[in-house]
Structure 1
Amino acid sequence: MCGLAGWVDHAGLGPDAQAVAEKMNDQLTHRGPDGSGVWLARRAVLAHRRLSVIDIEGGAQPMTLAEPGRTEPRWVVTYNGELYNHRELRRELTARGHRFRTASDTEVLLAAWAEWGADAARRLNGIFAFAVWDDREETLWLVRDHLGVKPLLYHHDGGRLIFGSEAKAILAHPDVATEVDEDGLRQLALPLLKFPGTNPYRGVAEVLPGQVLSFTGNGVRTHRYWDLAELVAAPAATEDPDEAAERLRSLLHDTVTRQTIADVPLCTLLSGGLDSSVVTAIAAGLPERAGLGSFSVDFTDAAGSADSRSAQDRHHAREAAAFIGTRHANIVLDSHLLSDSAERDATVRARDLPNGFGDLDTSLLLLCREIRRHATVALSGEAADEILGGYLWFSEPRAVAADTFPWMADSPAHGYLHQRVLGTLDPELVERLRLEEYLADAYATALGGLDLDPALAPRERRHREIVYLALTHFLTMLLDRNDRLSMASGLEVRVPFTDHRVVELLVTLPRAVHHAGGREKGVLRDAAVGLLPESVRERRKSPYPTSPDPDYSRRLTDHLTRVLHDPPEGLDAIFAAPALDPRHIGEAARSHGLVSNFEGEVILNFASWLRQYTPRLAL
């Protein structure tokens, strides 16, 4: 896992290109603390920060490749990710005459591009975002993995295209302004929703998951090498729950096996829930991973409690670890540290934006930081809930029936978080931005790209719609969050449930198979028979825990009081006056169980972002 940056200017690079590229690259040091490099030509500059995971001694980037019989490089790559099928690709390419100097997957990727061009993307199994410069054709290619696990942003202004793993790298270019227009403000005001292909910063866009982008003197072109909408609309893979469970178990075993390949210490994130426990059980069952380490999160104030969500997770994580046989550690986070303003600033800085979930984000940042002391790679159970309908909003009647994204419906299925955000915003700003109209347009556009069989039963049709919306507009937000907060400490998190073969199977299963036996994620529970203790295998979904410490809420209110004594410019134009009253925040904290401090967290995140980034806002 790494960070990448650079740009192509068809009018030619200026004399300061090297210095600017190094400045952009320095913004990504956290993503790649093990090495850096810059490659420069007349029209292109590619930069790279490296986190060494495979072939520690080799694999430095940017990496170049010449055509046979020539010495000058034709192809140059800067790459962030892992190819889990690089060994098979290496054998195939070797048979085609390619010779390799290193054991890195980067060299395999570059050879694959030389052999198949953009068609190489269809052959890749992994999580990746990369840029390839073809010096002979003077073409830049940007490619992103199937579900968008790894980020890839760009800024296009005519004859120039600037790219980077994170917005901060692009914003470090002197010709890119830190501005947020009205569309950007709308995105910031809707933090529970990921708008595909966009970014709140003006002029910054993202390569879509499953997309290839090319940039030549004639401009930008894109195409999809993998289309989720086509898969969701495809006929059912099977309607037999037993067959589906067997196929799923086989696929998970293969993908987890692939994703445990690393030349550095590897562990798992084990919450004690079904998804992470299945991944951990398969990984720990591999002969080469005997004694695998696993980690869970807890809070100081909950350490002696049996009632909090984190306490329940702690119990089930220990039970799963004992059954599976991992070396388990429960990382206990101090709620004083969670409320520290410097840690909030670090969390906002990691995400480049104020969008977030308060102590859920800070605790993930601190957890990853602690795990990084023991391992460089961690496997996660993320994405199973979105694919298999594990959230309450897949079944809660008001959420399912709502003519909007179900997790943003006026229902208890997601803690009314959308309504709570709107309640904090300045009413005049909400009216000017026409947020509900914008949300309705986004929803209609999302479903407009899905061509389902009209013969589908209404319940089945709605289930497929929600799966599609969850994968394209909710999971992408969570994957971005996980990438930013883990890579802030140089920890690579791998996500076996996002293997495109697993997704291709699961999204084409009927709702009845997803919920086999009348249980949410029933097909996964059936696939896990024998892997887990029954209490864990049949455990219901439990949200990621928040700190239950009432002192955390009090410290947050005190922090907000200090911030509002000298607020950053723009804060009072975004939020309603009552929302900026710490007493109101305290009352809101006591009245909600899911993300109990959400209103205060949102305001403090915006204050941190405004202070750190000083963006120009269209207010």
Structure 2
Amino acid sequence: MCGLLGLICATETDAAAARDAVAAALRCQRHRGPDETDTWADAEVVYGFNRLGFIDLEHSHQPLVWGPPEAPTRYTLNFNGEIYNYLELRAELAEKFGTKFNTDGDGESVVAAYHHLGADAVTKLRGMFAFMIWDAQDKVVFGARDPFGIKPLFYSSGPGGLAFSSEKKSLLELSGTLGVSEELDRTALQHYLVLQYVPEPESLHTGIRRVESGTSFRVVPGGQVEFTRYFHPQFTAKPVDGEAEAEALYERIADVMRDSVSKHMISDPDVTVGAFLSGGIDSTAIAALAKERNPSLIAFTTGFEREGYSEVDVAAESAAAIGVKHVVRTVSADEMMEALPLIVWYLDDPVA
């Protein structure tokens, strides 16, 4: 988990004046990336980034500057997430376009793909991501959010500019710079009370929206942001004809799950990998498949003191059956109430 923050102003003067404000707002999400914190500015754009490194720890610093040999500093990437097929994508770009890479990380594959494929590059990405790319030559920012919205991306626009952030609290910190109201969105509140969550693109503040999942965007300094939906899922119902076809589908589902779990576990060898384990079928299946990939997997379970509300015993049986180290943390009622204000602060908008 990393944290990005980006501000696009109408003029270079406005951007230069706002750099300290971006650095201050970035501190609101320092918990997302304890390894590195930095700001960067060019022309009308200011970036801030908090990095949690787990791939190419020594070289894939952010914001990441990249470009072709004739313009090596053309693009600057602000990227939160992980691209599971980045090795395959790097190989494809190298074969088709002769692309040269300077790091071993996944972020470089994102910006290189954008250089060669334009907006269609997002359809090549398999993973969870939210990113912004500043093209210093064409003076445009392009970005996107992953198809299922795993990685968050909020935005806010006002007289002082347009800002994107992994967490809403950073945009609230920037509200004075942007000239944006912090007024409660009563329609979003109604939706939360009925649905127990705030649907995209709303947030509980009128001046802050969310980039929708499966959507890319484009904006030039001083202009209006343009959104494009690139992900259009289709689910066509089809009856299963006989036991043989059913068995084949079971095997197909198992293969897809195994492949997905394997891809999710790409990281440097010295990075510890863990899994949440409730004892239910979903988390147990994922942990079992993860164990196939990483024999050193650690399973974590949170339990409660109140009888009937804890799954620790069932989770312990599952961990023993899988053969993984099991770490249990029992939370008391007092600890829960003490932590509640901090939980609310981390969530930005309430859920359930």
* TM-score normalised according to structure 1 size: 0.53
Task: Give the whole-Å Cα distance in 2 for the aligned partners of 1:190 and 1:75.
Answer: 43
Corresponding residue for residue 83 of structure 2: 83
Corresponding residue for residue 328 of structure 2: 330
Query: Matches of residues 119-518 of structure 1 in structure 2 within 5 Å?
Result: 119-157=120-158, 160-173=161-174, 174=176, 175-190=179-194, 192-216=196-220, 218-228=223-233, 231-232=234-235, 234-236=236-238, 240-263=245-268, 264-286=271-293, 289-302=294-307, 308-310=308-310, 313-340=311-338, 343-353=339-349, 355-357=350-352
- In the TM superposition, residue 318 of structure 1 has moved relative to its aligned partner by 1.8
Task: Give the whole-Å Cα distance in 2 for the aligned partners of 1:147 and 1:70.
Answer: 34
Corresponding residue for residue 32 of structure 2: 31
Contact residue 157 and residue 180 of structure 2 kept, 8 A: no
- In the TM superposition, residue 275 of structure 1 has moved relative to its aligned partner by 0.4
- In the TM superposition, residue 10 of structure 1 has moved relative to its aligned partner by 2.7
One-letter code of the match for 2:323? Answer: G
Corresponding residue for residue 543 of structure 1: none
Contact residue 256 and residue 282 of structure 1 kept, 8 A: yes
Q: Name structure 1 gaps, 5 residues minimum.
A: 303-307, 358-619
Contact residue 262 and residue 290 of structure 2 kept, 8 A: yes
After superposition, the C-alpha distances for 1:398-420 in whole angstroms (9 at most, x for unaligned) are: xxxxxxxxxxxxxxxxxxxxxxx
Task: Give the whole-Å Cα distance in 2 for the aligned partners of 1:74 and 1:192.
Answer: 44
Query: Matches of residues 59-74 of structure 1 in structure 2 within 5 Å?
Result: 59-71=60-72, 73-74=73-74
After superposition, the C-alpha distances for 1:50-104 in whole angstroms (9 at most, x for unaligned) are: 0111111111101111332235x22111111011111111111222211222111
Contact residue 198 and residue 351 of structure 2 kept, 8 A: no
After superposition, the C-alpha distances for 1:338-386 in whole angstroms (9 at most, x for unaligned) are: 122xx11101110124x245xxxxxxxxxxxxxxxxxxxxxxxxxxxxx
Label 1:94 to 1:29 Cα distance change in 2 as closer, same or farther (>3 A). same
Label 1:237 to 1:256 Cα distance change in 2 as closer, same or farther (>3 A). farther
Q: Secondary structure of the equivalent of 1:148?
A: coil
- In the TM superposition, residue 243 of structure 1 has moved relative to its aligned partner by 2.2
Contact residue 127 and residue 150 of structure 1 kept, 8 A: yes
One-letter code of the match for 1:236? Answer: K
After superposition, the C-alpha distances for 1:148-205 in whole angstroms (9 at most, x for unaligned) are: 0110011123783211011111111123332214324424534613322111111211
Task: Give the whole-Å Cα distance in 2 for the aligned partners of 1:57 and 1:356.
Answer: 37
Task: Give the whole-Å Cα distance in 2 for the aligned partners of 1:238 and 1:120.
Answer: 35
After superposition, the C-alpha distances for 1:433-453 in whole angstroms (9 at most, x for unaligned) are: xxxxxxxxxxxxxxxxxxxxx
Q: Secondary structure of the equivalent of 2:169?
A: helix
Q: Name structure 2 gaps, 5 residues minimum.
A: none
Contact residue 155 and residue 163 of structure 1 kept, 8 A: yes
Q: Secondary structure of the equivalent of 1:82?
A: strand
Q: Secondary structure of the equivalent of 2:225?
A: strand
Label 1:171 to 1:352 Cα distance change in 2 as closer, same or farther (>3 A). same
* TM-score normalised according to structure 2 size: 0.91
Q: Secondary structure of the equivalent of 2:111?
A: helix
Contact residue 272 and residue 314 of structure 1 kept, 8 A: yes
Greater RCO, 1 or 2 (C-alpha within 8 Å, sep 6+): 1
Number of corresponding residues: 341
**Greater radius of gyration (CA):** 1
Task: Give the whole-Å Cα distance in 2 for the aligned partners of 1:256 and 1:29.
Answer: 28
One-letter code of the match for 1:43? Answer: E
One-letter code of the match for 1:167? Answer: K
Task: Give the whole-Å Cα distance in 2 for the aligned partners of 1:330 and 1:24.
Answer: 35
Task: Give the whole-Å Cα distance in 1 for the aligned partners of 2:194 and 2:20.
Answer: 37
Q: Secondary structure of the equivalent of 1:27?
A: helix
Normalized per residue, the structure richer in strand is 2
One-letter code of the match for 1:70? Answer: A
